[in-house]
Structure 1
C-alpha cells in the first residue's frame, strides 16, 4: 500500500505526538506542518525535513495531501476543518470539535452536505479498556445498569499554567480541557445523557476559571451518575494515572476512576475488578459476591486512533467518533457550564 501523505496543523504538545506516530506508522508519511512563523516551528520543520506553512490554505494549495490532522488551538478548529471538508480532504480534528456548539452544528451540517470523512480526536474511544468494559456491560454481566460514579482528580503544577497562561482564563479550565474526555467515556458506557446539574469552585487557585467541578448526571435509560473533577487535587483517581496507557504519567494500578453498578454486579475501571451474582435469585446484600479480575491487553490508544484514521481515509472504516459524536460531547460540556452558572438542572436537546 502506498503511504498516505498527512499534514499536522498545530505541532504543540499533542501535535508533536501525532507527528511521532505518523513517522512511526508504516502506512503514513508526514509531508508538511502548519504553524505560526516562530523560530521553534522553523527548527521543528527543519528537523522533520518537511516544509512549514503559516496557514492551511497555502499548504493545501501547494501540497499533495491525503489527510489532515488538526491539533491547533480550539478557536481555529471550525475554520480549518471547514476548509478540509470543502476540498474533500479527510480530516481528523482534536477534541473539542469546535469552540462552541453553534460552530459545531454548522460544521456537522457542512460535513453531511459533502459526505465528508471527519474523525474527532477522542482517543480513549480507541482504548482496549473502554472496549472491554463495553463488552462486559453488553453481555449483561452487570445486569441492568443502575449507576456510575467517576473521578478525574489530579494536580496540575504551576509550570503548566505559566507555559500556557490561556489555561487560567475562561475556556481554559478543566471542564473544556479534561472533562470532555470523560463525557465521551460516560456516553459510550452508559448511553446518552438527558440532564446535568453542576457546581464549580475556583477557591484554591482563584483563577477566573474553575479548578473543581461536581456533577450529577441523568441518562436517557434511567442510569444516574455523579462525577468529580479537579485539577488541584493531589489524588491518583484519574484515567491518566490508572489506565497505564501513557508512560508520561505515574501509574497506580490499585486505583480506579470509574465504578459502574448494575442489578447483578459492579465493575471497577480500569482495574477490572468485577463483583457479581450469577443470577437475580442470588442477588442479596447478605450473600457474598463472586469476584473476578479480568486481564486485558493495553495498547496506545493514540496509535490505534491513527491507524483508524488511515482506515477511514482508505474507505475501510467509518469514523468511530464522528462529527456528530464530537458535537454531542460538546453539548454536554456546554450544559454543565451553563448549569454551574445558572445553579439549575439543564436538560439536553439532541
Structure 2
C-alpha cells in the first residue's frame, strides 16, 4: 500500500494559484492524507509552501524526483495537464487533474490511453460530481419520480469582475472564455442528470466586452434519451442563476439560495435544483395544467464537494476506489464544449461524436 504509517497517503500539490491553495487546504483537512509538498516555479510559491509548512520544489520534475509523493494534484495551467499527468503516471504516482483535462479532445488522447493501463490512477477534478445536491438530484431522477424525462433547462449567469481579465489577459482570447472554463462544469452536471448529450446548437456573442472570446452563449441540447434541453451562459450578466451562487457550496461567492439554475422536467413531475423542490400531480391520471401540483422539498445533507473529492482521491491513491470521474468522463465533457463552440461558429446543429 502506498503512503506512510497506518495507510496515510502523502499528497503533493503542483500549482500555487487559487485552486492549488484550495486543494492544499483540502488535503490538510482530509483524514488519512498529509500535504507533503508544493511545486510551482512562481516567485511567491516558496513563501506559500513555507506558510503551509511543507517543502517547495520549483518544478514537477524536482517534486517527483525528490519529494516522493503517493499522489499529486495538478492545479497547473490547462495546457500542461496532459503532459504532467503522463509524467506522474510514468513515475507510478496517482494524479488528480484539475478540469478541463485538456484544452482539446485530440490533445487528451495520450492520457486517455495511459489511464486505461493496469494500475493507472487518474481522477479528474470535476468536483461537482461529489456534491451532495447533485447526488440527491440524480437519485430523484433515476428513481422514476419524474416519469419519462422530457426537458432540461439550465443557466450559468454571473458577472466576472474586470480584474479577472486584468490578472489573466489570456482570458480575453479564444479558449479562455466561459464555454471551456465554466460551461464544462455544467455539462458534467447535465450528463449526470439527463444522460449523454448527442447534439447541440448555439449562438455566441461578445457584444458586451468586445473581447475575442465569447461572453454570452445560448445553447440547445438533444439528449440520447430523446429529451431536449436549453442552456444560457454568460460571465457578464448581473444575475445569480449560476451553480456557485445558488448552491452555496463555495463561500467565496455571494449566495442566493432562493434561486435555481436547473429545472429537470418529466411526464410525471419536475425537480428544481439546487432548491430541490419536487412537484408532482397527486394522481398520475390527472396530469394537466389545470390541476395543482403537490410540492415538497427533497432533503439534502450539505457538504463541501472539494473536501469530499479529496477524500475520494485519497481512497484512489490507496487503491481502495476507482476514480468517480475518469479521463473518459472528462473527455466526454470536453467533447460537448467543443461541439458548442463549433455550433456557435457554424450556426448549425453539431452532432457530439462518441468515442
Q: Same fold by TM (over 0.5)? A: yes
Does residue 2 in structure 1 map to residue 11 in structure 2?
no
Q: Cα RMSD (Å) of the superposition? A: 1.1
Q: Where in structure 2 are the equivalents of 1:147-158 lying within 5 Å?
A: 147-158=151-162
Structure 1 residues 16-72: Cα deviation after superposition (integer angstroms, max 9, x where no partner)? 000111112231111111111x33112112222322222212211112211010010
How far residue 3 of structure 1 moved from its aligned partner, in angstroms, is 2.1
Q: Calculate the TM-score normalised by the size of structure 2.
A: 0.96
Larger mean Cα displacement after TM superposition, 5-14 or 181-190 = 5-14
Q: Could you tell me whether the CA contact under 8 Å between 2:7 and 2:318 is conserved in 1?
A: no
CA contact (8 A) 2:221 2:230 kept: yes
Matches within 5 A, 1:174-323: 174-323=178-327
**Counterparts in 2 of 1:17-56, with a 5 A limit?**
17-36=22-41, 38-56=42-60
Deviations 1:302-321 (A, max 9, x none): 00000000111112211111
* Aligned-residue offset at 1:115: 3.9
- Which structure 2 residue ranges, 5 or more long, are not aligned? 1-5
CA distance in 2, matches of 1:267, 1:287: 17
For residues 26 and 119 of structure 1, the distance between their equivalents in structure 2, rounded to whole angstroms, comes to: 19
Residue in 2 aligned with 1:16? 21
Distance in 2 (alpha carbons) for counterparts of 1:31 and 1:6: 6
Give aligned pairs, total: 349
Q: 1:115 and 1:41 mapped to 2: Cα distance?
A: 32
Matches within 5 A, 1:39-118: 39-118=43-122
Matched residues in 1 for 2:290 and 2:340: separation? Answer: 38
Contact preservation (8 Å) 1:78, 1:107: yes
CA distance in 2, matches of 1:88, 1:223: 42
**What TM-score comes out, normalization by structure 1 length?**
0.97
Match of 1:340 in 2: 344
Which 4+ stretches in 1 moved above 4 angstroms? none
Q: CA deviation at 1:14?
A: 0.8
Structure 1 unmatched runs, 5+: none
Distance 2:256 2:299 in 1: 16
